[in-house]
Amino acid sequence: MKNLHDRILKEGKNLGRGILKVDSFLNHQVDPGLMDECGRELGRRFESVEATKILTAEISGIAPALATALHMGLPLIYARRTKPITMPGQVYLTTAPSHTRGQMVELMISPEYLSSEDRVLIIDDFLATGQTILGLARLAQAAGARVVGVGAVIEKTFEEGREALAPLEVPVEALAIVIDMSGGEIILR
Amino acid sequence: MKNLHDRILKEGKNLGRGILKVDSFLNHQVDPGLMDECGRELGRRFESVEATKILTAEISGIAPALATALHMGLPLIYARRTKPITMPGQVYLTTAPSHTRGQMVELMISPEYLSSEDRVLIIDDFLATGQTILGLARLAQAAGARVVGVGAVIEKTFEEGREALAPLEVPVEALAIVIDMSGGEIILR
């Protein structure tokens, strides 16, 4: 993923407190060619896990998860943070601390689209503390589904999300790994 | 777009008051193959407008807009409803009534990614009252950019969004057109 690394180093901004701004290609403006490349690579890394569905969280997870879903030919479900009027009364709901909002947020999915037959691959834009991803895993498990992998576009190792995900006992893949931002720069592995 | 029509008629649910639930392939679960087909067709319909950027609104617009962006090879910007900490202090902000939430919502974009050089194609999941799309058009115009087209996956003609968009004087395209839901069914043109 040389292109991804290059873009992070060229356009990423270290805003301090571990916040990496990549709004020019991932989180506000999206580069579709780069997303396609990320989706292809995540699909390749998870081709053996026999996933049946991809699960992500709105909002920023949707683009990389859709790109992955396209390459894997699997349906994508995005967990909602607020309940749309089209969602049934009974849902799977959990809460997770939002890294970028500094508060707890709700995550919910409808029981209509996940079942105990499903093998769920979780895809998100960032693997930071891992709390959003653990919330998604709880939703999948509430539906009786099995989580079979976790993929992220960018991991920040110093927030220790990979350690937090260890109890899931699934492969965890990240396409770019940021190991240090404490000095004002962005250091990739 | 026979596949889209078939899915709407087979899986769409008329929840009354003009609300069309298509959560199984567009708004909660997303069918990537169908999105790809929608993106290809929207790209074909707008190939002559010389767009430089695609603009949509989080959340449900992201999937069809990304699919269109992939086929057109254009960057996608999704307007945010809440301000992420990565967004600068000064933004373009407007408000629009949310059809499905029954309240006003904010829409904002960063000045970093739209300029007076841009020709903006607006893509959204639904064209209903047109108010979200008009909000996106105001954001583009605030940046000095020119709106050159509006595309939606599903139009509901009885909410008269197409009439509301007429002052934009741009081509408006929808891949499926629902003309009546008043009798409990879903009638496509």
User: Using CB atoms within 10 A of its CB, is residue A73 exposed (0-12), middle (13-18) or buried (19+)?
Assistant: exposed
Q: CB–CB of A78 and B30 under 8 A?
A: yes
The confidence score (pLDDT) of residue A102 equals 73
CATH of residue B99: 3.40.50.2020
CA pair distance A96, B42, nearest whole angstrom: 36
Find which of A62, A103, A114, A115 to mutate to test the B interface (most B CBs within 10 Å of its CB).
Answer: A62
Amino acid A100: pLDDT? 67
ipTM entry: 0.95
**A38 HSE (CA, 13 A, CB side):** 32
Interchain CB distance below 8 Å, A32 and B58: no
The whole domain housing A38 covers 2-188
Per-residue pLDDT of B56-101, as tens digits, reads 999 999 999 999 999 999 999 999 999 998 999 899 999 999 876 6
Return d(Cα B180, Cα B189) in angstroms, integer. Answer: 9
**In this predicted model, what pLDDT tens digit does every residue of A144-177 receive, in sequence order?**
999 999 999 999 999 999 999 999 999 999 999 9
Tokens of B182: 């008043």
Query: Is B28 close to A70, i.e. CB distance below 8 A?
Result: no
What is residue A186's predicted lDDT score, i.e. its pLDDT?
98
What pLDDT does residue B100 have? 67
Which of B53, B70, B74 is the best residue to mutate to test the A interface, defined by the most A CB atoms within 10 Å of its own CB? B70
Give B15's contacts in chain A (Cβ within 8 Å): 85-86
- pLDDT band with cut points at 50, 70 and 90 for residue B103: confident
| Domain count within chain B | 1
Q: Are B152 and B125 in contact (CB under 8 A)?
A: yes
Which residue, B86, B37, B62, B38, is CA-closest to B136? B62
Q: What is the pLDDT of residues B5-59, one digit of tens each?
A: 999 999 999 999 999 999 999 999 999 999 999 999 999 999 999 999 999 999 9
Beta strands in chain A (DSSP E): 13-14, 20-21, 29-30, 53-57, 76-79, 92-98, 103-109, 119-127, 146-156, 172-180, 187-188
